[in-house]
Amino acid sequence: MPTLDFRSAIREALDEELAADERVILFGEDIAVAGGVFATTTGLYEKYGAERVFDTPISELALAGAAFGSAVTGLRPVLEVMFGDFLGLAMDSLVNQSTKYWFLTEEQVSVPLTIRSVVGAGGRFGAIHSQMPVSWFMGVPGLKIVGPSTPADAKALLKASIRDDNPVLFFEHKRLYGNQGEVDATPARLGEAAVVREGTDVTIATAMKSVHDALEAAEALAADRVLAEVIDLRTLRPLDLETVVASVRKTNRLAVVEEGPVTGGWAGEVLASVTEDALGYLDDAWRIATPNTPIPYSPPLEDAFLPGPARIAAEIRRRLR
């Protein structure tokens, strides 16, 4: 199997889907001539031309409206919103049009659009370019939310998102772009989690960059004879509750790690859903998230703000003690 970094896996998925289906178009700010601010679309403009890969003005609402319009008239648009922090500007078109149109047309017209967006802290981008906006969209019916943690999943899940007939938010954590991993042609389905480390003492459920932090924490906990099972959720909506519940029935403890504010976050939804299905198996369940503050720019403060490996391990030790 070839080894790729995360950004190359994203580019390869886009390349393959553009080649496979002439209805697929790709557009966004600086994604064509410049090849993307994070170099995820380099060479695609030259290969497919300005009618299928093109740059746009800086107007997220206009871009989301164009994606909706092209999706309901036969195309399969892939839109890049450069930073997830600015998805709030696309809310009306995404939430009030794209996610409801299949329902409003009595299931006659689907809306196959994918919005790629860069998210996450730890890169010293400051409070307005580092947020994790998953919780803004968790309560929106008709919308799927995907967050890969490895190059293999980045490619497979992006291809699955583009082929899906529903609106999909595809989040790419900026701290993962340089990560290397083996990538093959194995397809993936949205809504399926993966057990990436087996254990018997506590389940850690998380997504994106936090998967790597959880694995590092699990390694540290193993030195204390605490065997943590780590679940990569991969898709946050729909949630693969079955995989999480099966793990909790074995470990009896659940820690949900979320890079995002503890209040109103998706970690609370995971805990509530698991509690409804597996309350009799739970001895303990809790969230490990960020404080309810803006993301600091100062490197020491940003590092302390995030739920990194040391904090995950320390909080699990404290709860088990």
- Residues that are catalytic: 129
Instruction: Give the closest residue to 229 by CA, choosing from 239, 217, 237, 241.
Output: 217
| 84 in Cβ contact with 137 (< 8 Å) | no
**Which one-letter amino acid corresponds to residue 290?**
T
Strands (E), the chain: 3-5, 24-28, 53-55, 76-83, 114-119, 144-146, 168-173, 180-182, 194-197, 202-206, 228-232, 235-237, 253-261, 284-290
Measured distance CA(82)–CA(171) in Å, rounded: 11
Q: Interhelix angle for 241-251 vs 266-278, to 10°?
A: 60
Instruction: Name the token pair of 97.
Output: 């049009």
| DSSP β-ladder status, 202-206 and 228-232 | parallel
First to last CA, the chain: 43
Distance (Å, whole) CA 94 – CA 104: 14
The two three-digit tokens of residue 159, written as one number: 């291809």
User: What gap in Å lies between CA 116 and CA 28, rounded to an integer?
Assistant: 10
Q: What is the 3-state secondary structure (H, E, C) of 51-87?
A: CCEEECCCCHHHHHHHHHHHHHCCCEEEEEEEEHHHH
